Structure 1
Amino acid sequence: MTVIAGTPHPALRDVVLRYEGFEDRRGDPVTFRELPCSFVPIIIDLDAGWTITYGGAPPMRVGSFVAGVTDSVVVVGHSGSARCVQIDLTPLGARRLLGVPMSELANVTVPVDAVLGDFGSRLVQRVGDAATWADRFAILDRALRARLAGAAAVDSGVVWSLRRIAAAGGNVAIGELAGELGWSHRTLIARYRDAVGLPPKTVARIVRFESLTARVTRDPGADWTATALACGYFDQAHLAREVREFAGVTPTVLRAELVNSVQDAASAPS
């Protein structure tokens, strides 16, 4: 398995979190669980495609795809050979780049060309024709910057409030945000569904869950009670309920998954 990190152009700072090249030639079918996240991945497939499963829904086969913000586990698999480029977008960057209400993509996966049309099809072709990972990342830089040049701005109130949520690690009173903006709660929810895809309270909970997984990854031996309080949960029981809802497992199992994931990434050649 090979993982190659790419650095997006500085002009894309508020839109693209990271580029990543991925190649897996282990030969045996592989499935892995993608946890809820607040970013929007675009996968440009360079191999035989993927199997995506949401909850109890039947698996779907896709090639290059876009996945909206998710609040539950998604099972992703390939048949034993995989090669792709992943572009992780900020949620508001995705709204600008994709040009559709993000509620249409929340908790779903759709083919790239279904969202990005001819631009998406051409991008997949050009990235697939490139000779090196560096060339692929450079193609993405140029294409994304060109598309964003004519993109509409995102609601400034959502931009401000989402920054507040991120800075607080998800621990912010949504009613207070609405009040400071002079919006009703209903207006705040509607604007978040358009710009992010999910209601602000759910987004804040996902951001807090991401803070938890990051903390556990850094310090897998940390005490659960201390971790719960540091991440803004009321107590360990509250943390356990949130982990079960978002990850579908106990905190202990989640910690084992995160540790194994880090070890796998560390052993992958660059």
Structure 2
Amino acid sequence: MHQEFEPPAPLRDAIKCFWYTDRAYTGPDFEVVPDGYAEIVFYFGSGCSLAGQALPSPFLMGLLNQPVVLTTQARLEVIGIRCYPWTVFDVLGLPPGKDGPRTFEHPVAQLQEPLQECVSGGRIADAVALVSQYFLDARPRAVDSTLFKAGAAMLEASGAMPVSQVAAAAHATVRTLERKFKQSSGYTVKDVSGLMRFEQARNRLWHEPEVSLAALAQELGYTDQSHLSREFKRYSGMTPAAFAQKRRR
């Protein structure tokens, strides 16, 4: 089961959505594939670990450059807060970093017990309401207008926009935009755009594994099919052709 919930209006410039997943795993390992978002993750049920080290709940799943393999025993229920990469650290009041899965100490951890009660009772809407109210009360800083405009342009173009055009949409110089992106997310505009575009390619191949790779490359703004293949393999560890074949099976 997977559900997504729209955040209240005052949070929408920083938080994409809240989500809930209830999933039983047939094996101990499961893979988290890169996408264009950062997630604050609360989990319930079996333990969750990375490379043999237990992850606390909550933990931060920052932007990934390659898949991460996590381990659990059987079943996990997750409440997630999906943030834009240029807002997640401001939402939490943490310094930016490029370390993917990340543990942190933060007052938001006080939600673990009440969220556990809601999830155990099947009251998922109540759990999401608790998380939503917490961030409303915390009142995260308003998103920098340059970052907001740049992010909106990148999202609309699904990452297929040159940095110079993103800067123009944000009414900023490339240098200023890159500095603000690095300060807010730890990544460059090109890094985040690449992940956004990969996510679009992966989603299309998941739903339409028979799609022409040449046509997909052109549609998503890659130079050619070879460019798509290189970028796809960079983030997923396999070529788009191999991914589509695996999906068809």
Q: What are the Cα deviations for residues 147-176 of structure 1, in whole angstroms up to 9, with x where unaligned?
A: 1x2x22232112111221221221222134
The question of whether the paired residues in 1 share the 8 Å contact of 2:49 and 2:70 is answered with yes
Q: Does 1:76 align with 2:70?
A: yes
The question of whether the paired residues in 1 share the 8 Å contact of 2:8 and 2:132 is answered with no
- What is the 5 A alignment of 1:1-270? 3-11=1-9, 12-25=11-24, 28-52=26-50, 58-64=51-57, 65-102=59-96, 104=97, 106-111=98-103, 114-115=104-105, 117=106, 119-130=107-118, 131=121, 132-147=123-138, 149=139, 151-178=140-167, 181-185=171-175, 187-256=176-245
2:19 match: secondary structure: strand
2:133 match: secondary structure: helix
Deviation above 6 Å: which 4+ runs of structure 1? none
The question of whether the paired residues in 1 share the 8 Å contact of 2:205 and 2:243 is answered with no
The question of whether the paired residues in 2 share the 8 Å contact of 1:6 and 1:137 is answered with no
Q: What are the Cα deviations for residues 128-152 of structure 1, in whole angstroms up to 9, with x where unaligned?
A: 12232122112112112111x2x22
The question of whether the paired residues in 1 share the 8 Å contact of 2:46 and 2:74 is answered with no
Give the whole-Å Cα distance in 2 for the aligned partners of 1:109 and 1:234.
31
Give the whole-Å Cα distance in 1 for the aligned partners of 2:62 and 2:114.
23
1:95 and 1:87, CA in 2 relative to 1: closer, same or farther beyond 3 A? same
Give the whole-Å Cα distance in 2 for the aligned partners of 1:16 and 1:123.
18
1:155 and 1:20, CA in 2 relative to 1: closer, same or farther beyond 3 A? closer
Q: TM-score, normalised by structure 2?
A: 0.86
2:210 match: secondary structure: coil
Give the whole-Å Cα distance in 1 for the aligned partners of 2:248 and 2:184.
33
1:177 and 1:93, CA in 2 relative to 1: closer, same or farther beyond 3 A? closer
Q: TM-score, normalised by structure 1?
A: 0.80
Task: Give, in angstroms, the shift of residue 184 of structure 1.
Answer: 4.9
Task: Give, in angstroms, the shift of residue 226 of structure 1.
Answer: 0.7
Task: Give, in angstroms, the shift of residue 225 of structure 1.
Answer: 0.7
1:91 match: secondary structure: coil
CA RMSD of aligned residues (A): 2.3
The question of whether the paired residues in 1 share the 8 Å contact of 2:167 and 2:174 is answered with yes
2:45 match: secondary structure: coil
